Structure 1
Amino acid sequence: MPKNRKERDRQQIENTIDNLHEARETLMNEAVPEEEKKRIREKNRHREEQIASLKEELEEE
């Protein structure tokens, strides 16, 4: 894997983790409607899958 792609993947992992943490904080806000919380939980599941996949790609090189 070219170094620039490797660095891009690392940055993408970092950004996705940041988004995951922000979303978890939003879930703790009681003012957020339940439908929105449901949507956020689903997005977080996808984020976790994406993080795992990107980490696996980095390890394979």
Structure 2
Amino acid sequence: MNAAYVQHRRFERSVAELRLMGVRVLYGEGGFAPNQPGQGKSKEYPWHLVLDMAQELAGP
């Protein structure tokens, strides 16, 4: 996902709907901030957040 997708008028509403359904979305403040199109920076992706969330959901 990049910053161009985020500009779509339904994007924020879709994220809000997912969160209302209990889906954990790692987008926004404290999560993933998308890059501009064509400027992917995979080394900067917050993989630690994904792994932490997976570990939390898997339990002890």
Q: TM-score range by the shorter chain?
A: 0.3 to 0.5
The structure in which a higher percent of residues are helix is: 1
Larger radius of gyration: 1
Identify the structure with bigger relative contact order (alpha carbons < 8 Å, sequence gap 6+).
1
TM-score normalised over the length of structure 1:
0.34
